[in-house]
A and B are shown apart, each in its own frame.
Chain A
């Protein structure tokens, strides 16, 4: 187990424009760290820099306590799983798994024993004699995984390893990779563009956009308190609803998208005044109106699209210039064109500065706790 530390790391191909800049992060030993971002954000480049497959243009990379900027890939004590698995098509599964051991001149019977051990762990035992082309996508993925595990390196890098699998297999492999990582205690750095993978697998996740860190933190923290509108819309499905807003202190209300007027509770709004604002609200925080709904915090909207997903209903409507979505639990009979009253609570809003994207007001903590004590009663 080793930590990986990036200090002010940057990368540029033409010595003029940085494709990655100002990366400062410490990945703790034994941590499952996910790099997530839209395609082209530099996440794979960053992983390849850690692996030593790309040069680091600026800054310092430390692996363990050692500066690793100029170490060759094999001296960094890590293994890597590639997106296309990079299996050797002319070698059998067993030879693929033991390739790295053979490079290190391990004895043949020792190699065989290790390969069998790892194959056992991943359910590949009966495929050891086959060539990669005779395997299904999921099995190939396992071989790639086996190759990384068998090297027993303290750090494992994965570059979108699940993106070539179908949805069902992907969900299964997510938990499988997580289980193996926990049981072996390796430090995992995992690149994905899929926010679901990031949310479900990561101990911590880093969101990258255009080569810059947007936010680092525990998945649920990022979901609850996104640092800027980009993170707010990137994490969560459907994404957070955003709209331009203005604070009307005179009438003590928030004007959202020139459309909705939300009364402000008592409080100090000096932080928000005299700024251009963007408000965000998660679709699940837009509720149906009930008898207890405070007057003034409900709005009538016109439904433009409806998706009923069995246990929840998602519908969209227009607020100012943007389309919003609301997610209600249960099955609702809503038709396109219906006028619906919905309610929104000021406490659940996230408010950002429209100019620099900074988070000015967080939503309230809505998480629930189950304790042994309460369940016992």
Chain B
């Protein structure tokens, strides 16, 4: 009795903390923790049509996936997609942010324009791109035609489809990256540049020795977010290509969606989701381990 009472008293801080955390614990449990554990649980089962666990198959779902050429193809497309979109997207956003960081008259207009894609939903911008990619009435083919180049089946040619989707994805994501990088640039103390100018440092010297190191935490953040976003791309695939042609744009999240809600294979879909989770986890951990050494925090 006595010891129980003292334990109750000793844990007063812990209980207070728990009370403060309760709202977020409830929200996270409902929307994150329960679905996550349910997914892991389902990945070990065959399910009925309603998505209830039916037969425990152990790790068979995983074995099937790793042997399936469809899944391997999907992984390959995802990795390619990440490689196409993340480096180019970040470099372009950095380039625009550097341009828009100059103090010029009317620069506010360009800042608004460059960040404007952030305000357009994935669905809306995908529809716009769908029109531009259209083989007969689309802008791109008209352009190619007018300079005398052969027409391209942007979304219908398996060679081109992934590149086309990557292009539109880079365009969609650039607004957000641009805005964050511009914020990072504006946070750098102006006096550092003035001091460097007095020393006679040119633009690229200042860029290499002041801007990039001072921007490294922001760059690190943007690269991490972009990587995770690229792995989780879904909306533009659904609207532009539906995973086709011949599976060339069947990115992993789209493949999960198809497996679960078209083929009603919730077990294998869950297993794919778990694999995606592990991949993103590994990539992020790797990035923190390798990248953080080069990042300077103030």
Q: Which residues of A contact B (CB under 8 A)?
A: 51-53, 72-75, 78-80, 82, 84, 86, 88-91, 99-100, 103-104, 133, 147, 151
Tell me the complex Cα distance, A315–B91, Å: 68
| Contact of A90 with B214 at beta-carbon distance under 8 Å, contacts A73-B197, A82-B195 already known | yes
A99 to chain B: which residues have CB within 8 Å?
196, 199, 201, 209
The answer to the question of B189 belonging to the interface, with a C-beta cut-off of 8 Å to chain A, is yes
Tell me the complex Cα distance, A74–B199, Å: 6
| Contact of A103 with B192 at beta-carbon distance under 8 Å, contacts A72-B197, A74-B197 already known | no
The chain A residue sitting closest to B189, CB to CB, is A86
A151 to chain B: which residues have CB within 8 Å?
199
Tell me the complex Cα distance, A80–B195, Å: 7
Closest 7 CB pairs of A and B: A74-B200, A100-B199, A86-B191, A90-B296, A90-B213, A86-B195, A73-B198
Chain B, 155-203, CB within 8 A of any chain A CB: 189, 191-192, 194-201
Q: Is the CB of A89 within 8 A of B199?
A: no
The answer to the question of B139 belonging to the interface, with a C-beta cut-off of 8 Å to chain A, is no
B198, B205, B216: which contacts A51 (Cβ < 8 A)?
B198
Most chain B CB inside 10 Å of its own CB: which residue of A51, A89, A133, A151:
A89
Tell me the complex Cα distance, A88–B201, Å: 14
B191 to chain A: which residues have CB within 8 Å?
82, 84, 86
Chain B, 41-63, CB within 8 A of any chain A CB: none
Q: Is the CB of A53 within 8 A of B194?
A: yes
| Contact of A89 with B298 at beta-carbon distance under 8 Å, contacts A103-B201, A103-B205 already known | yes
23 A-B contacts (beta carbon < 8 Å): A51-B198, A52-B198, A53-B194, A73-B198, A74-B197, A74-B201, A75-B200, A78-B198, A79-B198, A86-B189, A86-B191, A86-B194, A86-B195, A88-B209, A89-B296, A99-B196, A99-B199, A100-B198, A100-B200, A103-B196, A103-B199, A133-B298, A147-B195
A91 to chain B: which residues have CB within 8 Å?
209
Q: Which residues of B contact A (CB under 8 A)?
A: 189, 191-192, 194-201, 205, 209-210, 213-214, 216, 296, 298
The chain A residue sitting closest to B202, CB to CB, is A103
Q: Is the CB of A104 within 8 A of B189?
A: no
B209 to chain A: which residues have CB within 8 Å?
88, 91, 99
Distance from B272 Cβ to chain A, minimum over Cβ atoms (Å):
42
Q: Is the CB of B200 within 8 A of A103?
A: yes
Tell me the complex Cα distance, A53–B196, Å: 11
Tell me the complex Cα distance, A103–B201, Å: 6
A53 to chain B: which residues have CB within 8 Å?
194, 197-198
B201 to chain A: which residues have CB within 8 Å?
74, 99, 103
Distance from A103 Cβ to chain B, minimum over Cβ atoms (Å):
5
Q: Is the CB of A86 within 8 A of B197?
A: no
Q: Is the CB of A74 within 8 A of B213?
A: no
Tell me the complex Cα distance, A103–B199, Å: 7
Q: Is the CB of A104 within 8 A of B200?
A: yes
Tell me the complex Cα distance, A78–B197, Å: 11
Tell me the complex Cα distance, A74–B194, Å: 10
The chain A residue sitting closest to B296, CB to CB, is A90
Q: Is the CB of B192 within 8 A of A86?
A: yes
A80 to chain B: which residues have CB within 8 Å?
194-195, 198
B296 to chain A: which residues have CB within 8 Å?
89-90
Tell me the complex Cα distance, A104–B200, Å: 8
The chain A residue sitting closest to B210, CB to CB, is A88
A86 to chain B: which residues have CB within 8 Å?
189, 191-192, 194-195
The chain A residue sitting closest to B214, CB to CB, is A90
The chain A residue sitting closest to B216, CB to CB, is A90
The chain B residue sitting closest to A48, CB to CB, is B194
Distance from A46 Cβ to chain B, minimum over Cβ atoms (Å):
15
- Given contacts A51-B198, A84-B189, could you give 7 more A-B pairs where the C-beta distance is less than 8 Å? A52-B198, A73-B197, A73-B200, A74-B199, A80-B195, A89-B214, A89-B296
Tell me the complex Cα distance, A100–B198, Å: 8
Tell me the complex Cα distance, A91–B201, Å: 16
| Contact of A82 with B200 at beta-carbon distance under 8 Å, contacts A89-B214, A90-B296 already known | no
